[in-house]
């Protein structure tokens, strides 16, 4: 029986930068799981640290040959880990777009909350899983 390695599987990864002051863990995961695209699921791609602003992340991703896409339509308006998108129709379109990307390679859903149990990105990942059947891995 063959065992699949990380390289043989397209994952839906989730990652929250929290109060991290550098990109070390982020870049390690990108390399380890051969991430092809970062999907920023924050309502606004801004952070307490400019390091995690969407424009800065895009530069880091470009330098590592990774596509960066900000998807505010996959953001959360509930203020809790229960995902309430700003517009359901736009969120549905964005999920379809991301599912097509995820079928081609591993995607990483990025948000600000470090603890995946407290973040809406898990709900987004679950919706993507229904469309792609790709396994989900919540990264710490």
**In this structure, what token pair is assigned to residue 98?**
């991301």
Domain ranges of the chain: 6-138
Distance of CA 76 to the CA centre of its chain: 13
User: pTM of this prediction?
Assistant: 0.90
DSSP state at residue 134: P
Q: Which CATH architecture has domain 6-138?
A: 3-Layer(aba) Sandwich (3.40)
> Could you report the per-residue pLDDT of 83-123, keeping only the tens digit for each?
999 999 999 999 999 999 999 999 999 998 999 999 999 99
d(CA 79, CA 110): 17
Count of all residues that appear for the chain in the document: 140
> Could you report the per-residue pLDDT of 67-80, keeping only the tens digit for each?
999 999 999 999 88
């Amino acid at each position: 029986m063959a065992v699949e390695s990380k390289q043989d599987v397209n994952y839906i990864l989730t990652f929250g930068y929290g109060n991290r002051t550098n990109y070390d863990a982020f870049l390690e995961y990108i390399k380890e799981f051969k991430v092809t695209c970062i999907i920023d699921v924050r309502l606004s791609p801004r952070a307490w640290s400019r390091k995690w602003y969407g424009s800065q992340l895009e530069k880091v991703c470009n330098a590592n040959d990774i596509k960066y896409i900000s998807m505010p339509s996959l953001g959360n308006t509930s203020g809790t880990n229960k995902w309430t998108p700003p517009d359901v129709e736009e969120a549905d379109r964005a999920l379809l777009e991301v599912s097509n990307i995820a079928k081609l390679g591993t995607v990483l859903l990025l948000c600000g909350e470090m603890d995946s149990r407290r973040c809406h990105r898990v709900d987004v990942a679950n919706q993507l899983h229904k469309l792609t059947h790709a396994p989900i891995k919540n990264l710490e």
